[in-house]
Structure 1
Amino acid sequence: MTVTVRFFAAAEDAAGAPQLTSVAPDLAALRAELGAEHPALAALLPRCSVLLDGSRVDDSEPLPDGGTVDVLPPFAGG
């Protein structure tokens, strides 16, 4: 099963691409994979919101084939 992972703002900079694909079985495995493959992203991930198909879910949630994971770093502004 393959999911699309989209990165925004600082997460995109840290990942070095706006999106990639993964075959990780769940969000916990995806976080570990992303941190291992992109060291700059490893420090940012704990502060990011991670959405699966637009919803917040637990890290043990299985990733569905064709799903979309959005990695959103904290935003500042007013």
Structure 2
Amino acid sequence: MLLLPLPAIAAGAWVGAWRNLWAARDWRPFLFACTLVLAAGIGLGVSIWPYAIPGVLTLSETASAPRTQHIVAWVLVCILPVVIG
């Protein structure tokens, strides 16, 4: 019952994007398309949770060692501003 809004949101976003393709405001179809992709991603994530490989490995079993995660996090903090800027 909790997953019922996801297909409704996706369908509404698709209809909204289609109806606003020829509208004067260009940001509306983009916003609806982003909503559609977000609903699809959330639906996919919820459908396989908590497995990274469905039925075989959970996310905690596939995670790297904590030290490796710290290194990756620090590299991300250092490199992301360079990539964005």
TM-score under structure 1 normalisation?
A: 0.22
TM-score of the two chains, using structure 2 as the length reference: 0.21
Larger proportion of helix? 2
Max radius of gyration: which structure? 2
Of Structure 1 and Structure 2, the greater strand share is in 1
Higher normalized contact order (CA 8 Å, seq sep 6+, divided by chain length): 1
